[in-house]
Amino acid sequence: NDTSMQHRNLNHMTREERFSEAMRRTLYALKVLLPREGWTPVGPEMKYLARAIKEFTFIIHAGVFIPCIMSYGTNEQIAKWFPLAADFRIIGTYAQTELGHGSFLRGLETIATYDRANQEFIINCPKITAMKWWPGDMGKSANHVLLMAELVIDGKKYGMHGFMVQIRDLTTHEPLPGVTVGDIGAKLSFESVDNGFLYLQNVRIPRENLLSKLSEVHPDGTYIKKGNQRLMYGSMVRVRVNLIAHEIVMPLAKACTIAVRYSAVRRQGLINPSKEEVPVLDYVAQQHKLLPQVATVFMAHFAAKQLVKMHHDYSLEVEKGNTSQLPELHALSAGMKACLSEQGAAGAEIVRRACGGHGYSCGSGLPFIVNRMLATCTYEGENTVMQLQCARYLIKCADQAKKDKLTGSVWYLSDFSNMSCTAQTFGDLQEPSVLVKLHERRAKCAVQHAGKKMQNMVKNGTPAHDAWNMMATLLINAARAHIMQYVVGTSVTYISELSCSASLKKILTQLCALYALHNINSNCGDFVKFGCLTSAQCDLAQEAEFNLLKQLRPDAVGIVDSFDFTDDILQSCLGAYDGNVYERLFEWAKQAPMNKTEVHQDSYQYLQPYLHEGRDVLEGRGRNSKL
Ligand SMILES: CCCCCCC/C=C/C(=O)SCCNC(=O)CCNC(=O)[C@H](O)C(C)(C)COP(=O)(O)OP(=O)(O)OC[C@H]1O[C@@H](n2cnc3c(N)ncnc32)[C@H](O)[C@@H]1OP(=O)(O)O
Ligand SMILES: Cc1cc2nc3c(=O)[nH]c(=O)nc-3n(C[C@H](O)[C@H](O)[C@H](O)COP(=O)(O)OP(=O)(O)OC[C@H]3O[C@@H](n4cnc5c(N)ncnc54)[C@H](O)[C@@H]3O)c2cc1C
């Protein structure tokens, strides 16, 4: 209810207005609403803020830069930089991606060369492709960057390391000498975020600015490795784990709230010719578009909670020096981020499109959500690259399963029990245990299939790297299958252990079954090819899904209401709680800057002559134009 936090109509603002408005509102929220000593911008308050601030800026400062200081800094470095960053006395970003490289980190070209005489690092972008490009908050806001660069000592390369680099004067905010920095221009979304470019030419920083938790450089240039170098990738793992809740589950829940509420009030056409027009939500085709996406919100939420817990537990182990679980965490976080962002972005577009013309209006709030979710498929690890990382781990585990009993998320790869499906009715296929087994078997077969294909190619003389490249599509499918079995399995377990009313558990169980069946019916080729289901059982799976749509229809609006988004957060004429869609759309349109005047001033300049000629022709004074 704080008017400073009320959303202005973002769609009718320019990009610069949105940049300023987001900065104002974010700083107000972070500084005024949450005055806490040593407050770190993560945790419960962050969830509220993520909901309350439609366009959050300083995402990278709060969500990546500050956590990186904690992950990569020594205690002294944390004590120096964390308080400054937490209180916004320095604004930072995570500068890793370059104009020429984003996915292949070993190809990054920015160099940090140690100058022993002065005990400094000289930071240089040797060519245009080395320029940092994309980091959020970097173009106009940040005055520091956590720069990921290749460390070089006496001509020897030591790989990617993190360096604290000041890029703007703390008083004037002007770029420092050797620094060329700016905004990269308009993008598909994140209009309020100043994603930037950064060209560094012989910028000198003190030796102490190498974040040295995992490695350090002594004054004489001696390099000391102190931890598992893969922990240098730890920041990306953490963001992949956290972004699922904030940037996939939450926006998809908003989109589903808007689309289901709108579909309950929008009447269009007849089902029974003798009855009145129906709400489009009564069409099974509409239910088939919307309700599986509603189910995805819940299942992705449950699976993300489990992943966050796993990341927390593994992080505690890493702190004790045990990094044995890192490969599994990397594979699972990479796979989950890729597969759930793919599903979420596609799902948001499906529900937007289900709202017809008004779904194409920015007044619906849906284009904003769809465009923003598309970015989740690219940032923090492009999805294809992430799925292949996940597949790399699965292939290694499949080989290991031949001799060892596996545990963790890949345990099913060493389950050689009879997994054939005995379902005889569509009710059998709504059973959670049956759905879990089906997904485990499909995943196991998909992984083994990809592995076998590659082994055969190598046996026939194909180099392993070529076999990997040629089977990439099968490997990506195996990664997707693995994540689907993880999401279904963790959701079934989560719901079964949830202490809640029987009626709520029934709804959640139905949603879980709907999610699993929708996945089976969308990928039935795999389930038949791998012998998981017969063709007749595939028919039953479809019948089972349609039956669940019918059962869930009466509760559809109540289910999305449970996401509890206020109208101010939804910013949608179609999804407002009161259902007054048409009045809201009309009011929203009237506020458009185009409607400031009855006649647009440019029409006098360009249209007037033609209007006069048309008037003359219509009133008989002029000739029809040649045209
Ligand atoms: C609330 C949040 C809001 C969201 C805002 C987000 C804004 C966006 C920010 C960004 O986009 S920041 C930049 C993100 N960039 C990336 O994610 C880059 C992706 N690329 C990579 O991570 C790496 O290049 C790669 C694809 C993993 C390849 O790295 P590399 O070539 O060094 O390794 P490989 O040879 O493939 O594998 C070697 C070995 O290392 C293991 N490994 C790789 N990554 C990790 C990791 N993160 N953790 C642990 N282990 C890792 C890998 O599995 C291999 O192991 P083995 O198979 O050899 O045992
Ligand atoms: C909104 C947004 C915010 C961002 N914020 C930040 C930030 O704050 N900090 C930061 O450092 N970066 C940031 N990024 C950059 C982001 O991390 C990169 O865009 C991402 O890692 C992909 O790298 P790339 O763009 O260079 O694509 P590339 O790596 O060039 O990939 C291009 C395409 O090639 C294909 N491809 C690439 N490698 C392979 C492979 N091994 N196998 C098969 N196919 C492959 C894929 O189809 C891929 O889409 C942001 C990006 C966006 C869109």
Q: Which range among 1-10, 16-25, 413-422, 540-549 shows the weakest confidence by mean pLDDT?
A: 1-10
pLDDT at 49 over 80: no
The residue whose CA has the least distance to atom 24 of ligand 2 is 102
> Would you state the pLDDT for residue 46?
60
Mean pLDDT, residues 371-397:
98
> Would you state the pLDDT for residue 55?
67
> Would you state the pLDDT for residue 26?
83
Residue 297's pLDDT band, with cuts at 50, 70 and 90, is very high
Residue 147, H or E segment: strand 144-153
Q: Which ligand is nearest to the CA of 104?
A: 1
Residue 624's pLDDT band, with cuts at 50, 70 and 90, is low
Q: Which residue has the higher pLDDT, 47 or 318?
A: 318
How would you write 228-248 as a 3-class SS string?
Answer: CHHHHHHHHHHHHHHHHHHHH
Catalytic pick among 109, 150, 191, 380: 380
Q: Which range among 155-164, 278-287, 412-421, 510-519 shows the weakest confidence by mean pLDDT?
A: 412-421
Mean pLDDT, residues 364-386:
97
Q: Is 387 close to ligand 1, i.e. is its CB under 6 Å away?
A: no
Structural tokens at position 531: 């012998």
Which residues, at least 6 apart from 199, have a Cβ–Cβ distance to it below 8 Å? 125, 128, 131, 132, 179, 180, 181
pLDDT at 282 over 70: yes
> Would you state the pLDDT for residue 42?
53
Structural tokens at position 221: 């240039």
Task: State the first-to-last Cα distance of the chain, in angstroms, to the nearest integer.
Answer: 58
Residue 48's pLDDT band, with cuts at 50, 70 and 90, is low
> Would you state the pLDDT for residue 522?
98
> Would you state the pLDDT for residue 33?
60
pTM comes to: 0.95
Q: Using CA atoms, how far apart are residues 55 and 29, in angstroms rounded to an integer?
A: 12
Q: Which residue has the higher pLDDT, 518 or 315?
A: 518
What DSSP character marks residue 624? P
> Would you state the pLDDT for residue 39?
52
> Would you state the pLDDT for residue 87?
81
CA–CA distances in Å: residue 459 to residues 396, 454, 478, 493, 550: 17, 9, 21, 41, 52
> Would you state the pLDDT for residue 284?
98
Query: Of 187, 236, 340, 387, which is best to mutate to test ligand 1, by the most ligand atoms within 8 angstroms of its C-beta?
Result: 236
Angle in degrees, CA 186, 98, 64, rounded to 5: 80
Mean pLDDT, residues 300-318:
95
To the query of whether residue 380 is one of the catalytic residues in this protein, the response is yes
Mean pLDDT, residues 617-621:
84
The residue whose CA has the least distance to atom 16 of ligand 2 is 379
Residue 380's pLDDT band, with cuts at 50, 70 and 90, is very high
> Would you state the pLDDT for residue 603?
78
Ligand 1 atom nearest residue 136's Cα: 7
Sign (positive/negative) of CA torsion 282, 285, 289, 294? positive
Pocket of ligand 2 from Cβ distances under 6 Å:
60, 93-97, 101-103, 134-136, 190, 195, 375, 378-379, 381-382, 384-385, 388
How many A from CA of 17 to the centre of ligand 2?
Answer: 28
> Would you state the pLDDT for residue 36?
57
The string of pLDDT tens digits covering residues 435-452 is: 999 999 999 999 999 999
> Would you state the pLDDT for residue 416?
82
Q: Which residue has the higher pLDDT, 61 or 153?
A: 153
Residue 621's pLDDT band, with cuts at 50, 70 and 90, is confident
Residue 374, H or E segment: helix 366-375
Q: If you average pLDDT over every residue of the chain, what do you get?
A: 93
- Give one DSSP letter per residue of 64-118, joined into a string: IIHHHHHHHS-HHHHHHHHHHHHTTSS-EEEE--BSS-SS-GGG---EEEEETTT
Q: Which residue has the higher pLDDT, 41 or 457?
A: 457
The string of pLDDT tens digits covering residues 325-353 is: 999 999 999 999 999 999 999 999 999 99
Region of 137 please: left (phi>0), alpha (psi -120 to 50) or beta: left
Residue 292's pLDDT band, with cuts at 50, 70 and 90, is very high
- Give the number of other Cβ atoms within 10 Å of residue 465's Cβ: 8
pLDDT at 28 over 70: yes
Q: Using CA atoms, how far apart are residues 381 and 383, in angstroms rounded to an integer?
A: 6
The string of pLDDT tens digits covering residues 186-224 is: 999 999 999 999 999 999 999 999 999 999 999 999 999
Ligand 1 atom nearest residue 246's Cα: 1
pLDDT at 136 over 80: yes
Which residues, at least 6 apart from 551, have a Cβ–Cβ distance to it below 8 Å? 510
What DSSP character marks residue 189? S
Which residues, at least 6 apart from 411, have a Cβ–Cβ distance to it below 8 Å? 405
Q: Which residue has the higher pLDDT, 593 or 87?
A: 593
Q: 């799976």: which residue's tokens? A: 541
